[in-house]
Amino acid sequence: MNDVVTLAHGSGGKQTAELIDTVFKAHFSNPEFTADDAALLSVGGANLAFTTDGFIVSPPEFPGGNIGKLSICGTVNDLACMGAKPLYMTCAFVLEEGFPLAKVEAYAAAMAETAAEAGVRIVAGDTKVAGKGQVDGLFITTTGIGLATEGVHLSGALARPGDAVIVSGDIGRHGCTILLARSQFGIDADVTSDCAPLWGTVQSMLETTKDIHVIRDATRGGVGTVLHEIAAQSGVGIRLDGAAIPVAPSVRGVCGMLGLEPLYLACEGRLVIFAPKDKAPAIVETLRQGKYSGEAAIIGEVTAERPGRVVVRTEIGAETLLPPPGGELLPRIC
């Protein structure tokens, strides 16, 4: 391990996992400490999910959303991915001295609107102010409580050979949007973040079938990082059909110009779902009727071979290993 924090420690990939393992897990070890999107707890007879997420996205406003909307979606989606109905949230702000109050208010308005759509109530908050130059604009940390759905057992460790791999829509939009919003590349493309609250999406799937093994939202690190995590957690291989992976033409164009792999671009409104193959068509059909999942598609399958690896079959039939995530593609993506 390097002896100082690097941007790669925030990538959501290998180095982040290393930091969590060596520093946090080593100290915080307990039976409820989670490797999934949210911890599952039994409190006073209630089965809850509990999760937290910090948001430092730069710039704080982008096509399709802002840091306020993102801060609700991120936590709502982490609860949803455990099959838990989001109920209550807290939010903690760190504001930079001199930051415009009108912007704080605009982000708060976006938070309220997104929370209302997700059916979640913001019940407590905290506000700290740091001096000019001690924090870049504003950071928001949200934490959520959700109520677990009976009969649903979801975990990154539950993928099984024979499962289909589904994505709920076209991938890489959020990462591509932030990249363009920083305008350092001088590329002008019409890309909008996929940032959206997904409890409704998950709920509709669970009403179709409870026989789903894994649901993950592909945020930092993108779908590729999530797939590698699940392959490792479940001890299985994953084979993707490259031609089946939905990518918007504009995103594909930007990736082509910059030599980026869409599988490693962040999403903020896309789910990766693992379910038995015979249930997959009904799940995809349900998803395609949803507001945020019209482009849902089966993109691959789980194999017993090559555990821990993700293989992509190209259109001409060749198979290539998807390299494991590493380094920092784009800091401050969420």
Residue 304 engages its own copies in binding (rule: CB under 8 A): no
Number of amino acids touching its own copies (CB under 8 A) = 84
Contacts to its own copies from residues 76-105, by CB under 8 A: 87-88, 90-102, 104-105
Residue 193 engages its own copies in binding (rule: CB under 8 A): no
Beta-strand relationship, 163-167 and 237-241: unpaired
Residue 108 engages its own copies in binding (rule: CB under 8 A): yes
Toward its own copies, which CB reaches closer, 122 or 244? 122
Residue 151 engages its own copies in binding (rule: CB under 8 A): no
- Identify which of 140, 160, 53, 141 has the alpha carbon closest to the alpha carbon of residue 99: 140
Q: Report the distance separating Cα 81 and Cα 273, nearest Å.
A: 9
CB of 135 to its own copies, least distance (A): 6
CB of 285 to its own copies, least distance (A): 31
Residue 157 engages its own copies in binding (rule: CB under 8 A): no
Residue 182 engages its own copies in binding (rule: CB under 8 A): no
Toward its own copies, which CB reaches closer, 20 or 158? 20
Residue 16 engages its own copies in binding (rule: CB under 8 A): yes
Toward its own copies, which CB reaches closer, 239 or 332? 332
Residue 297 engages its own copies in binding (rule: CB under 8 A): no
- Identify which of 181, 226, 203, 175 has the alpha carbon closest to the alpha carbon of residue 13: 226
Residue 181: which region, alpha, beta or left (left: phi > 0; alpha: psi -120 to 50)? Answer: alpha
Task: Provide the CB-side half-sphere exposure for 309 (13 A, CA).
Answer: 12
User: Using CB under 8 A, which of the segments 33-41, 159-167, 169-177, 221-229 binds its own copies?
Assistant: 33-41
- At 96 the three-state DSSP class reads strand
Residue listed under structure tokens 């702000």: 93
- Identify which of 258, 103, 111 has the alpha carbon closest to the alpha carbon of residue 195: 111
CB of 239 to its own copies, least distance (A): 31
CB of 260 to its own copies, least distance (A): 20
Toward its own copies, which CB reaches closer, 53 or 163? 53
Beta-strand relationship, 237-241 and 138-148: unpaired
Toward its own copies, which CB reaches closer, 47 or 204? 47
Q: Report the distance separating Cα 280 and Cα 165, nearest Å.
A: 8
Q: Report the distance separating Cα 101 and Cα 76, nearest Å.
A: 26
Contacts to its own copies from residues 57-76, by CB under 8 A: 58
Report yes or no: 240 and 167 within 8 Å, Cβ to Cβ.
no
Contacts to its own copies from residues 198-237, by CB under 8 A: none
Cβ neighbours for 269, distance < 8 A, ≥ 6 positions apart: 73, 77, 169, 173, 174, 193, 194, 195, 196, 198, 217, 292
Give the other-Cβ count within 10 Å of 224's Cβ: 24
From 117, 136, 261, 295, residue interacting with its own copies (rule: CB under 8 A): 136
Residue 188 engages its own copies in binding (rule: CB under 8 A): no
CB of 312 to its own copies, least distance (A): 29
Residue 33 engages its own copies in binding (rule: CB under 8 A): yes
